[in-house]
Amino acid sequence: MSKNKKAKQESIPQPILVTPTSKPETLMNNKVWMLLILAIVSFGLYFNSIFNDYCLDDAMMITQNSITQKGFAGINEHLNNDFLFGFRNSESHDAASSRWRPLSLITFSIEIGLWGANKPHYSHAVNVLLYALVVVFLFLFLQKFILKNDWLAFFTALLFAIHPVHTEVVANIKGRDELLSLLLLLGSLYLFWKFVEEQKVWAMLSSMLLFFISLTAKENAITFLAGVPVMLYFFNNKSIKQISLLLIPFLITTALYLFIRNAIVPFQEAAQSNEVMNNPFLYMQPIEKLATKFFILLLYFKFLVYPYPLCYDYSFNQIPPHHFTDSRTIISLLILTILAIAAITGIKKKNIFSFCIIMFVITFSISTNLVIEIGMTLGERLLFLPSIFFCIAIVFIAKFLAEKMETKFSIPKKYFVALLFIPIFFVSAMEIFARNKDWKNDTTLNIADIKKTTNSARINNGTGSAYVLLTDEKKITKRQHDSLIRLSIHYYQRAIQIHPTYDDPVLNMGAAYTRIDSFEKAEQLWNSVRGHSAHPKLIEYDKVLVEQFYRKGMNCGSRHSLDSAIFYLNRSTKYLHQVDSLYLECWYNVGGAYFTAKNYEKAYDAFGKVVAINPNYRDANNGYLAAKNIFKNKTVKN
């Protein structure tokens, strides 16, 4: 080729080659798809819970909480009282009530202010959206600062999203406290790590604010005072001095929270309940308590690995006392020992499994009953935050297995992961859908859970009430009605058999008997409780007795059965507690019955009770004066 031709060819502009998409852009595209998948999966798994009603503790938080029901006007009261004040309408300092958790209650008040009362579907929708946000923020935090790998973070968040043990938190509106606390904590940690890596002061200040607010949702976030140093040690090359300095903002935030909390709900030793339903270790000896607590840890581990069957209650006597000679307690201790050794030996090497074990222990510590007794044996919702670290560990185990399969059998990692996760996803999805339906309302939940938890006094009592409520169905025959009542009585009796001093099933069984017109049996049951307890329900049930015996007395009077009329009318007056129109009517008709029976002395006393309250009651006045004159004349003659 000549020089001129070569020069001419070189002078021709060359087309710009289409270069491959850069790696950062590809990762960004992957990240967007991952976020979309996580959000869709999280929302989709719990979509059917949106159609549920209020259930269980929603009554304490929403429907029977006088402050929440005020809507926007109740926000300030939530801030200035313990979290059960609106339900109990009084201050209480027992283990269940001495807490300051205003955030979730405020959100409930806002919802009522926006949409009105009795709109559970809106509240369920908010819970599902919050859950999707938790999963998304978990991915973002792990991907950017901890695991620093898209796929590891994605599968961790995905496994967290599809874990059925979270159904209680999402499907029960009351679980809002767990959702808000974790969401705000993840936001706080994200901003904190941004400060650590980029030294942006605004990020630290924002992190402190979110951490404070997360504590007002639920106190469990406080465990990250120990968790943050562990995370810094494992995933950031900071010295002990640097870690200590970075922890100071969290310590300041916690101190401020505790100061405000103590000013509103003073710290004091919570009164230990004398009721085993609220103090599950009440009847156990110290050695039995400790052994049982270690056995319960085995159950928690089982729910992480095999979350079936799920149940809303594990109270007395579903988990009976255990001993250190029991095989399952021994297995629990062996597992804990192995995990402790693995955690300790992996600290120096900054092993990921060591990190997961330590963080799980830190975040779960206050739920174990080993540090403090929390008033319950076991709760699936208590695994919500700690399960993150279980999911991380499982993903790394899957990664290890995938690499081995690729090396030894030339099976691509993506195929192995698909074979592993797809069955888990579908099985978990079916369990979550089914469990969401169980959480429809109190009736569906109790009827579903009694099949799994037969020895819980609370669930047997709840199941009895569920069958009573089913009698309110419109399309039901008399035979079906009575059959349901007999079934309810069976479960109430079972609850009493498990826990002979449990008042609730006794009272509820009395209410069931009224459904088949056995008011004498109801009276007997209610009076058996009255003998040792001033249960607030008794006042409500006494009104039922007044109305029923009053009606019977009046019916007997219309048939001129004076003795029976007097008997039932007097019986009704035994349960009068307040002076109202019914009070006056009862005593007026007692007076009338006695007057007709010519017992003028008692007629005089009965009419006198009415006149003393309402001197303008003309008929009572007439009867009172007539009985008085006849009674006095007889007395003078005698």
Model pLDDT for residues 460-481, shown as the tens digit of each residue:
999 999 999 999 887 889 999 9
The alpha carbon of residue 538 and the mean position of all alpha carbons in its chain are separated, in whole angstroms, by 26
Please tell me the distance from the alpha carbon of residue 309 to that of residue 165, in angstroms, as a whole number: 10
pLDDT of 442: 96
Judge whether residue 383 has pLDDT over 90.
Answer: yes
The type of residue at 638 is N
**Under 8 Å between Cβ of 304 and 386:** no
pLDDT of 581: 82
For residues 373-401, give the mean pLDDT. Answer: 94
∠ CA 181-182-184, rounded to 5° = 70
pLDDT of 417: 83
Higher pLDDT, 462 or 270: 462
Q: Where in the chain is the domain with CATH 1.25.40.10?
A: 456-535, 543-637
For residues 385-400, give the mean pLDDT. Answer: 96
Judge whether residue 4 has pLDDT over 70.
Answer: no
pLDDT of 88: 83
- Residue 195 has which token pair? 């400060």
The string of pLDDT tens digits covering residues 503-522 is 999 999 999 999 999 999 99
CATH superfamily of 456-535: Tetratricopeptide repeat domain (1.25.40.10)
Confidence class for position 91, pLDDT limits 50, 70, 90: low
The string of pLDDT tens digits covering residues 412-453 is 887 888 888 899 999 999 999 999 999 999 999 999 999 998
Q: In 3D, which of 228, 178, 186, 179 has the Cα closest to residue 211?
A: 186
Confidence class for position 456, pLDDT limits 50, 70, 90: very high
Is residue 358 packed enough to be buried (19+ CB in 10 Å), middle (13-18) or exposed (0-12)?
Answer: buried
pLDDT of 415: 81
For residues 541-545, give the mean pLDDT. Answer: 91
Question: What would you measure as the largest C-alpha separation in the chain, in angstroms?
Answer: 158
Judge whether residue 269 has pLDDT over 80.
Answer: no
Q: What is the 3-state secondary structure (H, E, C) of 476-493?
A: CCHHHHHHHHHHHHHHHH
For residues 327-337, give the mean pLDDT. Answer: 96
For residues 303-322, give the mean pLDDT. Answer: 94
What percentage of the chain carries pLDDT values higher than 90? 67
Judge whether residue 6 has pLDDT over 50.
Answer: no
**Under 8 Å between Cβ of 72 and 113:** yes
Confidence class for position 582, pLDDT limits 50, 70, 90: confident
φ/ψ of residue 385, rounded to 5: -70, -50
The kind and range of the H/E element at 249 are helix 240-264
Side-chain half-sphere exposure of 163, counting CA atoms within 13 A = 31
Mapped onto helix, strand or coil, the DSSP state of residue 94 is strand
The alpha carbon of residue 24 and the mean position of all alpha carbons in its chain are separated, in whole angstroms, by 43
Q: Give CA separation, 201 vs 191, 196, 233, 247, 249, in Å.
A: 10, 10, 21, 14, 11
Q: In 3D, which of 273, 265, 374, 377 has the Cα closest to residue 316?
A: 377
**Under 8 Å between Cβ of 64 and 86:** no
CA 427, 430, 433, 434 torsion-angle sign? negative
The alpha carbon of residue 318 and the mean position of all alpha carbons in its chain are separated, in whole angstroms, by 18
pLDDT of 27: 45
- Residue 604 has which token pair? 């005089």
Please tell me the distance from the alpha carbon of residue 488 to that of residue 465, in angstroms, as a whole number: 6
Please tell me the distance from the alpha carbon of residue 229 to that of residue 246, in angstroms, as a whole number: 8
The string of pLDDT tens digits covering residues 105-157 is 999 999 999 999 999 999 999 999 999 999 999 999 999 999 999 999 999 99
Q: What is the 3-state secondary structure (H, E, C) of 555-619?
A: HHHHCCCHHHHHHHHHHHHCCCCCCCHHHHHHHHHHHHHHHHCCCHHHHHHHHHHHHHHCCCCHH
* Mean of per-residue pLDDT scores for the chain: 90
**Under 8 Å between Cβ of 194 and 200:** yes
CA 300, 304, 305, 308 torsion-angle sign? positive
Mapped onto helix, strand or coil, the DSSP state of residue 147 is coil
Confidence class for position 634, pLDDT limits 50, 70, 90: low
The string of pLDDT tens digits covering residues 18-56 is 444 444 445 457 889 999 999 999 999 999 999 999 999
CATH superfamily of 543-637: Tetratricopeptide repeat domain (1.25.40.10)
Please tell me the distance from the alpha carbon of residue 522 to that of residue 618, in angstroms, as a whole number: 36
**Under 8 Å between Cβ of 38 and 135:** yes
Please tell me the distance from the alpha carbon of residue 73 to that of residue 113, in angstroms, as a whole number: 8
Residue where the block lists tokens 């209480």: 92
**What does DSSP assign to residue 67?**
T
